[in-house]
Amino acid sequence: MRAFDVTSSPALTVTRRTRIEAAAALVAAHGFAALPVVDEDGALVGLVSGEGLVREQLRARRVARRVEDAMTPLVVAVDTEAPVGEVARQLLGHHYRSLPVVCDGVVIGVVSREDLLRALTSQDEVLAARASRLLCDNVGARSWDRAGGAVRRGGALRVPGLTRKPDGG
């Protein structure tokens, strides 16, 4: 599996000239940790983090600021062909929440820890976890939650404590 296979695409990007307020609104609205900063050709030139935006927004009360005031110009990115193991090493080894994914220097997407986790987790496990959460949110914690939650196998969802046995019991 390659970086391209787990990338959220297309990437939501900003330019150096984007106003701090606009970039902060994008980060807040989409729940991103950071946004890639690109030039007019889509080439990666930096990264602006939510933390950097907050810092600059506090300063911006005095003077209007642009993304270029808050961005980090030297950015770690991964190539679309990078193995998923290398992507994981970059994310976890440097404590990044996400990384830009580039092809010939142009940003084509972003890969996050959540993207990797989704790719490495079976759909049955993901759906069972969602079902358990919905049951707990709507009905409250019950025996199925203490018993390990819902389990999805072969297209059927089994909820311990709620699922009837074939003999009607």
User: Could you report the per-residue pLDDT of 33-81, keeping only the tens digit for each?
Assistant: 889 999 999 899 999 988 877 777 676 555 657 888 888 887 889 999 9
SS3 label, residue 59:
helix
What pLDDT is attached to residue 90? 92
Residue 144 lies in a domain: yes
What would the mean pLDDT of 128-152 be, rounded to a whole number? 62
Residues 147 and 113 in one domain: no
Task: Please give the Cα distance from 103 to 25 (Å, whole number).
Answer: 27
Which residues are bridge partners to 153 per DSSP? 156
Residues 42 and 89 in one domain: yes
Residues 61 and 140 in one domain: no
In this predicted structure, the answer to whether residue 17 has a pLDDT above a threshold of 70 is yes
Residue 164 lies in a domain: no
Task: Please give the Cα distance from 52 to 58 (Å, whole number).
Answer: 10
Its domain, for residue 77, covers 3-119
Which residues are bridge partners to 103 per DSSP? 106
Residue 146: which pLDDT band, with cuts at 50, 70 and 90? low
What pLDDT is attached to residue 162? 54
What pLDDT is attached to residue 77? 92
CB 103 within 8 A of CB 23: no
What pLDDT is attached to residue 118? 81
Task: Please give the Cα distance from 42 to 160 (Å, whole number).
Answer: 51
In this predicted structure, the answer to whether residue 142 has a pLDDT above a threshold of 70 is no
What pLDDT is attached to residue 63? 60
Other beta carbons within 10 Å of 64: 10
What pLDDT is attached to residue 74? 75
Task: Please give the Cα distance from 3 to 89 (Å, whole number).
Answer: 12
- Token pair for 1: 């599996």
Residue 93 lies in a domain: yes
Residue 62 lies in a domain: yes
Residues 75 and 37 in one domain: yes
Residues 146 and 73 in one domain: no
Residues 110 and 130 in one domain: no
Residue 10 lies in a domain: yes
CATH assignment of the domain containing 89: 3.10.580.10
What pLDDT is attached to residue 18? 94
Residues 23 and 106 in one domain: yes
User: Does the predicted TM-score (pTM) go above 0.75?
Assistant: no
Task: Please give the Cα distance from 157 to 150 (Å, whole number).
Answer: 7
H/E segment holding residue 30 = helix 20-30
Task: Please give the Cα distance from 108 to 3 (Å, whole number).
Answer: 11
Chain centroid to CA 159: 29
In this predicted structure, the answer to whether residue 92 has a pLDDT above a threshold of 70 is yes
State the total domains in the chain: 2
Residues 153 and 104 in one domain: no
Residue 169 lies in a domain: no
Q: Residue 134 contacts by C-beta under 8 Å, 6 or more apart in sequence? A: none
Residues 115 and 126 in one domain: no
What would the mean pLDDT of 145-169 be, rounded to a whole number? 56
- Token pair for 40: 């007019």
Residue 166 lies in a domain: no
Residues 109 and 127 in one domain: no
Residue 106 lies in a domain: yes
